[in-house]
């Protein structure tokens, strides 16, 4: 396996990590921002008020994006094995 092949695998790995982490992070970010605005307006400072909606949004995001995440990870795994076979397993 050449250095260029390793660089391509690393680049693809970072793209896959971004694709897999984006749905959960974006859902938590949006819900956290909305809850923070509500807390600022109503002057409620309850920690569970921020935690529970984020947890529910994260669960929903993972449920909705689960098939996409699974297919992305499966495709990347197939790509890794194909490149390993093409390089002769060296």
Mean pLDDT, residues 68-90 taken together: 88
pTM of the model: 0.78
Q: Where are the domains of the chain?
A: 16-86
**pLDDT higher than 80, residue 6:** yes
CB 65 within 8 A of CB 21: no
Query: What confidence score (pLDDT) does residue 26 get?
Result: 96
Kindly indicate the confidence band of residue 3, based on its pLDDT and cuts at 50, 70 and 90: confident
Please write the tens of the pLDDT for every residue from 12-61: 999 999 999 999 999 999 999 999 999 889 888 887 788 899 999 999 99
CA atoms within 13 A on the CB side of 28: 11
């Amino acid at each position: 396996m050449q250095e260029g092949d390793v660089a391509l695998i690393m680049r693809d790995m970072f793209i896959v990590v971004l694709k897999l982490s984006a749905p959960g992070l974006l859902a938590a970010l949006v819900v956290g921002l909305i809850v923070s605005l509500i807390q600022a307006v109503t002057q409620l400072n309850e920690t569970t008020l921020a935690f529970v909606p984020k947890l529910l949004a994260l669960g929903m995001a993972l449920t909705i994006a689960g098939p996409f995440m699974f297919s992305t990870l499966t495709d990347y795994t197939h790509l890794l094995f194909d490149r390993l076979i093409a390089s002769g397993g060296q």
